[in-house]
A = this chain, B = another copy of it.
Amino acid sequence: MTQNTSPSFSFEEAIGDFLVASRKCEVVSLERLLEAVQLVGRIRALVHQLQRERGASSLWIGSGGQRYADELAQYRAESDTTARAFREHLDGWLEPGACAHARSRLLGRMALALHGLSGLPSLRAEVSERTLSPMEAMRGFSELIRSLLAVVFEAADSATDPEVSRALVALLNFMQGKELAGQERAIGAAGFGQGMFDGELRQSLLHRIDAQERSFRIFSEFAPESACAAWQDLQGAGFAAEVERLRRQACTQGDSRGDSLSDPARAEIWFACATARIDAMKEIEDLLEMHLNECCSARITADRADLGAVRDRIAQLAESELRDSVPYAVFFGAPEGLDQEGEDDAVLNVPIVGHSVMDLVQRQATRLQSVEDELYAARQALAERKTIERAKALLIQHRGLSEDQAYKLLRQTAMNQNRRLAEVAEATVAMSDLLGKGGL
């Protein structure tokens, strides 16, 4: 047959264009990620203020309006200052052009959080009129904080850089742990304040302690060493030991109405220790946020430089080289060493020299795969948390349980079956799919 093998079109030039476009997209998506990281910072500041306002609100109601009035007024003013800064930051998020499904979800979560925030004045009015119990006030603030944390989880979920993703998972699990510690403080204050912990109160307390441990465990898996070391120090501090001692008293002696809990000073001691613990957490959070920002900026700098290098290299490659006959087999998996080299380039920002188009294509393939591999653990941690939340929501919705009861049921089932909480949660969600909406 005749050697009519040359088609009347060519894909060679397009290869470089697609490589460059692919890298450009990476840089742009990193820049978006940085915006989300900044949003997380603002939410974190607001959450911290609301946590303090929550504590003061509960205490103020609990004291029959006799005490903590000044603190409450001060905390409200500080919440407002942070909320105002947050509000001003929002408009930038409504500009068009950056649309994607992940952003749609983030904006949707933001709408929910804003709806929560818009209810703050009426919540405060009910606190001022003392028409809520301390626990009801706590729940009101906790729901609001929950909707803000949901935005942070959504932001973490859309992160696509492995290192940034790990830093986000560490931060948000720490934030979650701190929030649970804040709820524990309020529950403990209520119990010690009334001199007893009934079954429900004790269950609430146990849930917060258990869930805190889970959050801090995940934080430790993903946090940088400095933050882990600071967390170790915190756990060895005097207030931490005191919190442990009071926790034990609350959990074991609550029902007996013994003398030990009837001491009113105990509530104050509890509150002071729990607060010291939470304030120390705030400092670790600051460390984590700094680390997150550094990761993000470093990656953007490296990726921009890398994009420039790829672009230059492709421009340099003589047409002759581009048109050289290339081997027809696209490798399945990169040859050993190349893998390492690809990562070094990205991390150390070594300029790319001497690469042929084939090498560049191969590098990009290795890159795509290694990003996916590295993201795996962080995504897994997020997915587990999501499944547990979903399982709880299903139990609350379909079986009329409270959140604490739902959590206890999942936890108990996991212990009975000697399985992980995430596995039981997954089975719960899967079962509800099988059985339909009314199934559980």
Query: A residues bordering B, Cβ < 8 Å?
Result: 1-12, 14-15, 17-19, 21-26, 28-29, 32, 60, 65, 69, 72-73, 76, 80, 83-84, 87, 90, 93-94, 96-97, 99-105, 107-112, 114-126, 128, 139-140, 143-144, 146-147, 160, 325-330, 332-333, 336, 339-340, 357-358, 361, 364-365, 367-369, 373, 376, 390, 393, 396-397, 403, 433, 437
Contacts and interface: CB of A to CB of B under 8 A. Distances in A.
Contact of A115 (B10, B15, B111, B368): B15
Given A5-B125, A80-B8, A140 B328 contact: yes
13 contacts: A9-B87, A15-B118, A17-B94, A100-B102, A109-B368, A115-B330, A118-B326, A122-B327, A122-B328, A139-B329, A143-B330, A144-B328, A339-B437
A121 B17 contact: no
Nearest to A437: B339
B361 A111 contact: yes
B329 A140 contact: yes
Q: Chain copies in the assembly?
A: 2
Contacts of A4: 73, 76
Nearest to A129: B3
A11 B117 contact: yes
Contact of A326 (B83, B119, B326): B119
B108 A397 contact: no
Which residue, of A114, A120, A327, has the highest number of chain B Cβ atoms within 10 A? A114
Contact of A7 (B12, B121, B357): B121
Given A11-B118, A25-B107, A29-B104, 9 more contacts: A1-B60, A3-B125, A7-B80, A7-B121, A9-B84, A9-B87, A115-B361, A121-B325, A140-B329
A7 B358 contact: no
B364 A111 contact: yes
Contact of A357 (B2, B11, B115, B358): B115
A279 to B, nearest CB: 24
Contact of A100 (B25, B72, B123, B125): B25
Which residue, of A10, A15, A103, A118, has the highest number of chain B Cβ atoms within 10 A? A118
Contacts of A128: 1, 3, 5
A164 to B, nearest CB: 11
A108 B368 contact: yes
A325 B361 CA distance: 58
B119 A29 contact: no
Contacts of A6: 121
Given A84-B9, A107-B18, A111-B364, A328 B123 contact: yes
A322 to B, nearest CB: 9
When A and B form their complex, which 6 residue pairs have the shortest distance between CB atoms, in order from nearest? Answer: A25-B104, A119-B328, A22-B107, A28-B99, A123-B328, A101-B160
A373 B433 contact: yes
A120 B28 CA distance: 33
B147 A87 contact: no
Contacts of A340: 437
B114 A14 contact: yes
A163 to B, nearest CB: 14
Given A24-B96, A103-B25, A114 B18 contact: yes
Contacts of A393: 332-333, 369
A101 B29 contact: yes
A326 B120 CA distance: 9
